[in-house]
Amino acid sequence: MVTGGAPVVALDGPASSGKSSVGAAVAAAFGLRFFDSGLLYRALAFAALDHGVDPADGPAVAALAPSVSVEPGQEGRLERVRIDGRDVSAQVRTHEVDRVVSAVARAPEVRAALLIRQRALAEGGGIVVAGRDIGTVVLPAADVKIWLDASAGERAGRRALERGIDPASAAGQAILDEMRRRDGVDGGRAIAPARPADEAIHVRTDGNTLDQTIAAVVAAVTAGLAAGATLAAGGRTTGGSVIAGGLTTGAEGAER
């Protein structure tokens, strides 16, 4: 293990793939802390809007990073966000922040400033960290790397239902269009694009209930930790593998 016994789990995947709810449940199952790194990007996006700073102005947005802090809420979950001491945990999850956060996250200055913060939060291990580039860039020595994914249609449908919108309506279609746009920006940016690490275990969640996905990720983490222990003991393990979420079988590279 990279951290002398306290495991580090990188849980990456696209928008609305369930990283936050699944990650928190999996962390609780293993007695680990949980941190969703998207919160830091969201906090900076909110701070930019709040200060009248252009979200695409990387240096100006990065200069706001010292004003952001993250604290534990319930059960070791690092979920309370403050800007200059003011609790903005609810404001960072709004539609306005959704619209500009990809632009904030593509700036190299922002990514450099938040890289240090994320590593500091994960120090000491014993944590599940959710994000887009945790396994590839932020914590490349993580003990287990998971890539949680579902088709864009499935993810947009979940997001629509959460907001009380019929996925088949025009508003539902707008959510799908926005999801595809964000996937394009997050996956296509020059620095730390959203992508699975080569050795990541893929968990596809199309058609799953939340409980099925949690069970699939718990199984993947258990398998990943066991494989790491085998490797540490001088054995061999294979590279990335695919675990179909829950009871379904998932094909890689399905429609996005």
Whose Cβ is closer to ligand DC: residue 137's or residue 221's?
Answer: 137
Give the C-alpha separation, 148 to 162, whole Å: 19
Give the C-alpha separation, 219 to 190, whole Å: 33
Whose Cβ is closer to ligand DC: residue 117's or residue 167's?
Answer: 117
SS3 242: strand
- The least distance separating ligand DC from the CB of residue 98, rounded to whole angstroms, comes to 7
Task: Mention every residue, 6+ apart, whose C-beta is less than 8 A from residue 65.
Answer: 44, 110, 113, 114, 117
- The least distance separating ligand DC from the CB of residue 38, rounded to whole angstroms, comes to 2
Whose Cβ is closer to ligand DC: residue 37's or residue 213's?
Answer: 37
Give the C-alpha separation, 95 to 86, whole Å: 20
- Residue 243's region, left for phi above 0, alpha for psi from -120 to 50, else beta, is beta
- The least distance separating ligand DC from the CB of residue 130, rounded to whole angstroms, comes to 7
Give the C-alpha separation, 238 to 244, whole Å: 17
Whose Cβ is closer to ligand DC: residue 122's or residue 134's?
Answer: 134
H or E stretch at 95: helix 95-105
Tokens representing 24 are: 């928190």
Whose Cβ is closer to ligand DC: residue 83's or residue 227's?
Answer: 83
- The least distance separating ligand DC from the CB of residue 200, rounded to whole angstroms, comes to 14
- The least distance separating ligand DC from the CB of residue 212, rounded to whole angstroms, comes to 21
Query: Tell me, what amino acid is at 163?
Result: R
Whose Cβ is closer to ligand DC: residue 19's or residue 204's?
Answer: 19
Give the C-alpha separation, 155 to 175, whole Å: 10
- The least distance separating ligand DC from the CB of residue 101, rounded to whole angstroms, comes to 4
Rg over CA atoms, the chain: 18
Residues that bind ligand DC (CB under 6 A): 15, 37-38, 41-42, 101-102, 105, 131-134, 182, 186
